[in-house]
Structure 1
Amino acid sequence: MPAVTVRGGTLAGMAVAARLAKVGHDVTLVHDDGPLGPENLPDVFTFPAPWRDLFTKSGRTLAAELARTGHELTAVAARPVGDGLLLPAERGGQFAVLSEAFGTAVAERWRDLLDALDDVWQARRPLGLEQEFDAARFRAARKELWWGTSVERLARRFGHPVLAQVIRQSAEGEPRRSPADEAMWLAVERTFGLWQVTTTAGEPAGSGVLVTALTERLRTRKVTVTDREPASCDAVVTAHGPLPRGWRGPHPWPRRTGSRVGPGRYTCGDHTHAGRTVAGQLLSAALAAYAVHLDLTGENIHPTNKDRRRGKRTRPGPPGEQPHHGPTGPPGEG
């Protein structure tokens, strides 16, 4: 049985440990005396698929695990933005609310922006989220990713005081230093909705329930949690790491690391190509688990690598952009 050491009781560290233990590795999670996992997960989140996949691939579905403690995932109809406005996640609901609040023209611009950001999401998924980052593939997709534009610039170009702030909040870091593709999470929210953990009676319970369930999964999978690193192992996964300093402008994430960092050395977490979101951390853990298992056993447990993009895209950037120029930002800008 291959022995794997995971350094760091982060969310990504817990996730990669659970996955590797399920497929037969002897996993030791090295962590200090503090509680496992993050302290402050957002209580309302989008894209629950990485959570569901994690629990399924580590032995028991998320729905079943939550049910054991009297909890469930519940859809959230809308979230507050601006001064008292509730913005639905659903496409038609967004258009209706924004039309009533700000007029049809603003609602149409928002709809068109998120339609364009959905194409950005499709281009971004195979670049470090669902597959390992590939530099050649990134270079070929730069126009589709609106490369060279920041989230801040995107917000300013949209111009509306309330919705521009919503765009800024989609950035994983400081908006002026975050690439515009991070605004894709707005399109993800519209596609996959908003979710929260509740009791079976419908009372909000907080996302800490998910961390508790994952901690229990580690125990079930017989992951050793200790503050002492084993004397030897076959592979080491470091589940934390710093972002290099000195970057300027919206160009950070292609310079981050992939899962493999050296012979027998791997990494996952918010410093990787998957980014800083909770979904990104969980997806980076999955990629690291696939890499470790393949290298140690020769078995490829990565899901089929079908092209998930929905048909052939005809526009390289936001609507209204000339096809032979670089990406210029939101819909309608010339």
Structure 2
Amino acid sequence: MEVRGEGLIALAASLRLARLGHRVTLVAADPSWRSRARRPLSGELPPVLEVPAAWRDLFGKSGRNMDAELARDGFTLTEAPPVLHRMEKETLALPTERAAQIAAVRTHWSPDVARIWSHLLDRADEAWQARRALGLEYPVAGALRGGDLPRALAGRHLTDGCDDLPALLRAVVGHLGPVAGGTRAGRGGTPLLADLAVPRVFGRWQLTRLDDGSATTLQPLLDALDRRLGARGVEVAAGPARRPDLVIDTEPPRRRFGHDRPFLAPTVRLTRSPDTAPGGRRAERGVEHSVDHTPAGPVLHWSWSEQGQRATLTHDHTRPVRRPDLGRAIDSTAAWRRRPPLQWIRDDGAPVLAASPAAHGGPEPWAQLLTGALAAYLSHERLTGQDVSPHNRAVGADGRLRRH
């Protein structure tokens, strides 16, 4: 079996399939999860984890407990602090937990604003539940029509119902378009509202050192998964070595976008400075996450202490970069519907499953891990006839069918 790709989908699919007993060749000329890659993934990934369950499940389904593996390397996961939102002269620290978030909005503005925000969070929860069944927990195997969508995703625009919110909160919602959907500022389809629910459902977590509590990038997590490839016997090769019986292609489909726009990713930069705060005091050791909401789009900053320096990762959505490999920009619900499904094709006699970040699951790191899981389940079933997805109650915690 051959898995093609250099990102998280290929990594996740390869580990799961090897655990299921398949002989896997991972074709990746420059695996991005390795620190020596030309563009290491950890230099672009936010140092804050959302949906850690997706990462834990990948470790578990490849034969190791994630927390134990991290502890062996001297790391652990701790809860990340609230996000600081800024717009002109207004600032709001928005907690992750729902009740605390509503209380912060009520204190900053009024009970009426808090009620509107609470109703919006309810809509976000409904959107998340709807999206889970469309490309995250279940594959989208064919074209989606407008009538196929549940009501929670059928709205026309991300910010529908936000007119009575203060400008800063409207920006918090509206800027999900550039951040999660690769759109220009002010655009975004209704499915993106689910990203407002994700951190409240699963929390936000940072990777910290056990010895001094300082934060770090996600590279130790990726290193641990890379070791699992070797332990599971996955061959990582720069090119195909033999004719495979099945292929998972995680590279994006090469197709025209029609009237849709390609995904716009932020300009990314990582800077380092002396690890002191104003007045000469030592800066905080956790990850400080702030968002500057500007008319041209959001600018996200993550800042943390690392090896005597202050590292700052910036995602600047005011200077977007075209990323066709991430699919269509989700500037409307229709554009999200038109993303390519997980479909089988035949290439030189072998069945090929197209499973890329351009699919309905999306390009978020946790979404790519879930897309990789779906690709592994579909491939295993294609070869063996066995359904080993979590929805099959005959499947055990190790991802394999129970004997009885």
Shorter-chain TM range is: 0.7 to 0.9
Asked whether the equivalents of residues 30 and 226 of structure 1 are also in contact (C-alpha less than 8 Å), the reply is: yes
Partner SS, residue 203 of structure 1: coil
Per-residue deviation, residues 224-245 of structure 1 (Å, max 9, x unmatched): 1111212211111111205742
Report how far residue 168 of structure 1 moved.
Answer: 2.7
> Which residue of 1 is the match for residue 203 of structure 2?
193
Asked whether the equivalents of residues 174 and 188 of structure 2 are also in contact (C-alpha less than 8 Å), the reply is: no
> Which residue of 2 is the match for residue 293 of structure 1?
380
Per-residue deviation, residues 182-206 of structure 1 (Å, max 9, x unmatched): 1111112222211111112432112
Report how far residue 176 of structure 1 moved.
Answer: 5.0
Per-residue deviation, residues 132-173 of structure 1 (Å, max 9, x unmatched): 1265797343422134x233x448635422112211332321
> Which residue of 1 is the match for residue 169 of structure 2?
163
- For 1:211 and 1:155, how far apart are their aligned partners in 2? 40
Asked whether the equivalents of residues 132 and 259 of structure 1 are also in contact (C-alpha less than 8 Å), the reply is: yes
* TM-score (structure 1 length as normaliser): 0.83
Alignment of 1:278 onto 2:285 = no
One-letter code aligned to 1:68: R
- For 2:259 and 2:341, how far apart are their aligned partners in 1? 18
Q: 1:255 aligns with which of 307, 323, 338?
A: 338
Report how far residue 35 of structure 1 moved.
Answer: 4.2
User: Structure 1 residues 208-217 or 4-13, which shifts more?
Assistant: 208-217
Report how far residue 254 of structure 1 moved.
Answer: 2.0
Asked whether the equivalents of residues 5 and 230 of structure 1 are also in contact (C-alpha less than 8 Å), the reply is: no
Number of residue pairs the alignment of both structures matches = 301
Asked whether the equivalents of residues 25 and 234 of structure 2 are also in contact (C-alpha less than 8 Å), the reply is: yes
- For 1:239 and 1:203, how far apart are their aligned partners in 2? 34
Partner SS, residue 303 of structure 1: coil
> Which residue of 2 is the match for residue 209 of structure 1?
220
More helix by share: 1
- For 2:167 and 2:362, how far apart are their aligned partners in 1? 27
Report how far residue 300 of structure 1 moved.
Answer: 1.0
More strand by share: 2
Question: What percentage of residue pairs aligned between the two structures are identical?
Answer: 36
Asked whether the equivalents of residues 116 and 165 of structure 2 are also in contact (C-alpha less than 8 Å), the reply is: no
> Which residue of 1 is the match for residue 296 of structure 2?
none
Alignment of 1:88 onto 2:95 = yes
Q: 2:154 aligns with which of 146, 160, 185?
A: 146
- For 1:265 and 1:300, how far apart are their aligned partners in 2? 18
Report how far residue 208 of structure 1 moved.
Answer: 2.2
Which consecutive residues of structure 2, in runs of 5 or more, have no partner in the other structure?
A: 35-40, 261-330, 394-404
Asked whether the equivalents of residues 174 and 187 of structure 2 are also in contact (C-alpha less than 8 Å), the reply is: no
Distance 1:106 1:305, change over 3 A: farther
- For 2:116 and 2:130, how far apart are their aligned partners in 1? 21
Tell me the C-alpha RMSD between the 2 structures: 2.3
Structural mapping, 1:11-160, within 5 Å = 11-33=8-30, 35-36=32-33, 38=41, 39-82=43-86, 83-133=90-140, 139-147=147-155, 149-151=156-158, 153-154=159-160, 157=163, 159-160=165-166
- For 2:161 and 2:144, how far apart are their aligned partners in 1? 29
Distance 1:260 1:234, change over 3 A: same
Partner SS, residue 167 of structure 1: helix
Per-residue deviation, residues 104-131 of structure 1 (Å, max 9, x unmatched): 2222211110112101111111111100
Distance 1:100 1:176, change over 3 A: closer
Alignment of 1:10 onto 2:21 = no
Which consecutive residues of structure 1, in runs of 5 or more, have no partner in the other structure?
A: 307-334
Partner SS, residue 46 of structure 2: coil
Asked whether the equivalents of residues 155 and 167 of structure 1 are also in contact (C-alpha less than 8 Å), the reply is: no
Per-residue deviation, residues 11-55 of structure 1 (Å, max 9, x unmatched): 111111111111111111111146436241111232211111111
- For 1:11 and 1:136, how far apart are their aligned partners in 2? 25
Partner SS, residue 234 of structure 1: coil
Runs of 4+ in 1 over 6 A off after TM superposition: none
Partner SS, residue 131 of structure 1: coil
> Which residue of 2 is the match for residue 316 of structure 1?
none
- For 1:261 and 1:208, how far apart are their aligned partners in 2? 33
Partner SS, residue 78 of structure 2: strand
